[in-house]
Structure 1
Amino acid sequence: MTFSICVREEYETERGACHRRFGVAVTTRLPGVGTLCPFVSDRGAVATQSLVNVDLGARGIDYIDDGLAVDDALQALLNADDGAPQRQLHGVDGETTFAFSGTECVDEYGHREGDHYTVAGNMLTGDAVLEATAEAYAANAVHDATDRSTGPRAVTADIETDPLAKRLIDALAAGDLEGGDKREELSVQSAAVVVETTESHAVEPPYNDLRLDATETPIADLRATYDLAKRGYSDTLAQYEGAFDADSLGAASE
């Protein structure tokens, strides 16, 4: 059930501060995937799927937050899990990646690892779903993974980029165009995207944590929800940013 992508990006703000952000996007032909599969913090991102064991994701991100490398954290959890052959588990931390697909997952299944992302899926129409998802993300990633010595790729007026949440939704859309989840008899589907960053905001962007728990058109609906949330965020900042900065409703725009 499912295909998903986990990513890490390094970026520079207009003021020259360097930050990291992590994200997961996932979709499946079952309801409520956002409650089960994606786990994200400002130190890593993990997705658990196939025969889902939510504990693998929750404990995995806890271990990463405690300073354990993602490969050590997730492999240790799998080693203690009797159901590991039926699991998929993948993720990223600040330096490395990890991806696992058990031999008892249902075809078509598999995973991909890049320098700063992982993609995994099962019960897919074909291997092209994974390839398309990975390629769509990699083509628009904000990260120079080939030369870490130069530091993060700067996001400036010369390099326009969409927020990570939108680019992750676009990556899911690319995989879905290749067929996605093959179980056409299951019409009720779901999708989710979650992003966390080391950068702080007076008002946290609501489009960084979105779920469609039950719909027949999960990617289109998630994209539409993202567009509305982003527009609402802009409206909120215009109306209330002064109030949040001053911690006073008296500073809100009329």
Structure 2
Amino acid sequence: MAKKPAERCGPRHVAIIMDGNGRWAQSRGRPRLFGHHAGARRVREIVSACPDLGVKYLTIFAFSTENWKRTQTEVAGLMSLFRRYIMKEMQDFVRENVRVRFIGDRPRLDAKLRALMDEAEAMTAHCDGTNLTIALNYGGRDEVARATKRLAQDVADGNLDPADVDEETLPKYLDTCVVPDPDLVIRTSGEARISNFLLWQSAYAEYEFIDTLWPDFTPEIFAEVLTSYGARDRRFGAVPV
């Protein structure tokens, strides 16, 4: 009798902290925004690689709530880049069956960018291939605080009994309530910290910190990281039998 093929052990949901754009540009004598544009092009390649690598959900950290502390020139350049990226890529994402969602605190973003985000989500709502989540003006603590406020309001309105609140309740109020928790979180550029990214969702995620700067993170390197993940023994607090 023929053996059944081995079950795929790769991650279903990968989250990426895309770090190193500025250093990549500066090492080439170019302004930091040059690196951000190179990083945006790399996003396109990684998204396209996901189906062949078995990654159903991809979440990328594009702009944090702390990134507003950067220079006005860099922040303005990034906002312009986000607007152009959405306008340029959405038709291709529709053709490639990629569903796009955004997480983060939207009110601080400008009206035109928010409108483009809404349009991108609507345009790709029917897509059932790769699920791309873009974290924009996102912070893990901020997300939990906003979720807690919504939960508290439901309690105050009588829609939720405080006795029913447990660790399964809060995730329903998070920005990521419609996607599974990440199996693997990758950070590029050699920094080994999580930078306030998906704090609740990554409680049992595996982490991979790699030295490669984000603009140099190719689909081939992505595949190598996923292969490394497949060799890990994920026990979720249990012990081997």
TM-score normalised to structure 2 length = 0.30
TM-score normalised to structure 1 length = 0.29
More helix by share: 2
More strand by share: 1
